[in-house]
Amino acid sequence: MWNHNPLTAGIVTRPQGVVPTDLLDQMPDWRTAMRNAIRDARDLCGRLRLPESVASDAEEGTGDFPVFVPLELLGRIRPADPQDPVLLQVLPRSAERHAPVDVFSADPVGDRSAEVVAGSGMLKKYHGRALWISTGTCPVHCRYCFRRHFDYQQNQASPEVWDGICQWLARNKDIEELILSGGDPLTWSDQRLEALIHQLEQRVPNLRRLRVHSRMPVMIPQRVTSKLVECLKPSRLTSIMVIHSNHPQELDEAVIQAIKRLTGCGIPVLNQAVLLKGVNDSLEALEELSRCLVQMGVMPYYLHQLDRVLGAAHFEVSEQAGREIIGQLRARLPGYAVPRYVREAAGSPAKIPLE
Ligand SMILES: *Cc1c(COP(=O)(O)O)cnc(C)c1O
Ligand code: SF4
């Protein structure tokens, strides 16, 4: 069984047999899952019985952004299918090395110029919100990632850095929301997150909301531990989780259970997706994605136009094609199930709507 998603009957096969209701507790703990992740293109291709031509192309494409695929995701990739929409997100291709250098750059969204506390990864790009690139570690390496060239080495959250960040937040009283981004902030331990939230609550009176941007609930769903949910429960700070799923095939029973843990405790969950050629640039894929998300209690938030990062040109879908798909979605789904189709622009205080 390579997929056991009960929500996506239209696109993928339904599961056979009974699915346990406490699946997350039966999975290896999330740190073990991180350790066991596949880190080699040949290994990935071998396990999926992909042809030698695909394996050698992947090896050539890897460059300095290594493969990282958790085994939890591997089970959601159709074996022996080089066009599988989940595989394409994580499989290096030699096309990554032949990027048009003039328009595709290493820092397409202007992150490097928005840092407010030197060496901290804390960025001020949006009104009332601060964005903290809290770590460079991820539960998966997405080949289209716009932060794939970001130098994360310096963003180690030492006590000094953390202190500087709290001071800066408290000084800038217009900041009412802190966005934890990365990398993936849920690669931090529950203890560390708990300490962080506690400090924010104590030291930054102007802060009202904490937003967590994470691919963990989709990639390694057992990361949504009871302790994590406890930390994020509404308190003085309201927490909002923004997950990242691009295709309904990513949403299996374990993901559903992870999301239920969050929504069951009153934590709103939103999804952002990136429009990716060969992955989700079709009405069928995006319609099914929205249906599955809504069914799980997740609101489709953004559909991002690809950021023009070096190595990702082969994923680009034209804005015209994107607009057409969104128009078709709008004609078929309730308004709340249609994500906003947007583009990020360096130096702009908000996303640019593309529709
Ligand atoms: C756009 C964006 C944000 C914040 O924008 P909102 O419009 O407030 O959601 C934060 N992080 C990333 C990576 C973004 O692209
Ligand atoms: S999980 Fe997010 S930050 Fe990490 S590689 Fe994927 S898109 Fe990039």
Q: Looking at the CA of 114, name the nearest ligand.
A: 1
Q: Identify the residue whose tokens are 């699946």.
A: 23
Q: How far is the CA of 143 from the centre of ligand 2 (A)?
A: 8
Write the residue with the smallest CA distance to atom 6 of ligand 2: 142
- Taking alpha carbons only, the member of 188, 89, 170, 178 closest to residue 132 is 178
Residue 131: strand pairing partners: 123, 179
pLDDT for position 150: 65
- Which DSSP string do the residues of 209-246 spell out, in sequence order? EEEEE-SHHHHSGGGS-HHHHHHHSSSSSEEEEEEE--
Cβ-proximal residues to 324 (8 Å cutoff; 6+ apart), any chain: none
pLDDT for position 289: 98
Q: Which tokens sit at 16?
A: 């056979």
CA distances (Å), 121 to each of 79, 93, 164, 272, in order? Answer: 38, 29, 11, 22
Probe target for ligand 1 pocket from 181, 308, 342, with the most ligand atoms within 8 Å of CB? 181
pTM above 0.75, yes or no: yes
Distance CA 216, CA 186 (A): 7
Distance CA 247, CA 238 (A): 28
Q: Looking at the CA of 138, name the nearest ligand.
A: 2
pLDDT for position 3: 45
- Which DSSP string do the residues of 262-297 spell out, in sequence order? HHHTT--EEEEEE--TTTT-SHHHHHHHHHHHHHHT
Cβ-proximal residues to 268 (8 Å cutoff; 6+ apart), any chain: 240, 241, 299
- Per-residue pLDDT of the chain (355 residues), as tens digits, is 344 444 444 334 445 567 777 999 999 999 999 999 999 999 999 999 999 999 999 999 999 999 999 999 999 999 999 999 999 999 999 999 876 666 677 777 767 677 888 888 899 988 999 999 989 999 999 999 987 776 555 555 788 888 999 999 999 999 999 999 989 999 999 999 999 999 999 999 999 999 999 999 999 999 999 999 999 999 999 999 999 999 999 999 999 999 999 999 999 999 999 999 999 999 999 999 999 999 999 999 999 999 998 899 999 999 999 999 999 999 999 999 999 999 998 878 889 999 8
**Ligand 1 contact, 181 CB (< 6 A):** yes
